Amino acid sequence: MINSRSLAVLSPVLVALALAPTMAGEIVGKVKYAGNAPAPKQIPITKDQAVCGKAPHLEDSFLVAADKGVKNVVVSISDPKDGKKMPVAASNPKIDQNGCRFVPRVQIVPAGQSVDIINDDGILHNIHTWPKNNVPFNKAQPKFKKVMTELFEKPDVIKISCDVHSWMQGWVIVAGHPYFALSDDKGTFKIADVPAGTYALEYWHETLGKQTKQVIVPATGSVTADFEYAAK
């Protein structure tokens, strides 16, 4: 029988239900490569040997694990419906120029984010961006200039290079919404808190290119969205 006491117990539950956020699930998966992993190739260091040549540079644009997992694949929803933005981080993410390479090589940042470009090498670098939607920059960073801060304003896929060291290459992926993930060295990824629904899921890799497949996100729990790139 419902009396005032049981209502008092019940009502906070009803209130909590009424205030519950949209049902959301997560997208998990593994990105693989159908072909053989490329043999590790050493990049010739043609400049600033004392700093850039300290450690061997192995080609790292296409990294495939023993079980065929592909690292540095950007997985994202291409048609989100909720208009949410990826929150800008209070402390700036970093691109470190260390041993004449960009670390990390591929990075996802929110639109509107400032990024600290660090010169740890104590030699001249010259960072150069190749955006589609943002204003490009091409700036010398002399050895005494430890940090340059740059704003990445609009959603984009931006190649970065160094005009001093031709082999240096990296990518900044500027995200317009939160539903992005970068695959780890096993090729696995997870996008959390995605409102339930049907979406186009995009896989982007700097050498393997862009592919899309449909994914249905459940109201709770997770959906597995594995993907395999064809051998090239």
Instruction: Point out which residues bind Cu ion (CB under 5 A).
Output: 125, 162, 164-165, 168
Measured between alpha carbons, how far is 97 from 4 in angstroms, rounded to an integer? 67
- The 8-class DSSP code of residue 158 comes to E
Shortest Å distance, C-beta 108 to Cu ion: 23
Closest CB to Cu ion among residues 117, 164: 164
Closest CB to Cu ion among residues 162, 194: 162
Block residue for tokens 């949209």: 22
Quick one: which of 13, 60, 6 has its CA closest to 38?
A: 60
Block residue for tokens 């780890």: 184
Measured between alpha carbons, how far is 32 from 183 in angstroms, rounded to an integer? 10
Closest CB to Cu ion among residues 153, 163: 163
Shortest Å distance, C-beta 157 to Cu ion: 21
Query: Contact 137/128 with Cβ under 8 angstroms?
Result: yes
Shortest Å distance, C-beta 104 to Cu ion: 16
Alpha helices in 190-230 (DSSP H): none
Shortest Å distance, C-beta 52 to Cu ion: 8
Q: How many residues does the chain have?
A: 232
Name the residue with the smallest CB distance to Cu ion. Answer: 162
Closest CB to Cu ion among residues 136, 209: 136
Closest CB to Cu ion among residues 102, 179: 102
Query: Contact 179/76 with Cβ under 8 angstroms?
Result: yes
Shortest Å distance, C-beta 84 to Cu ion: 36
Phi-psi region of 67 (alpha: psi -120 to 50; beta: other; left: phi over 0): alpha
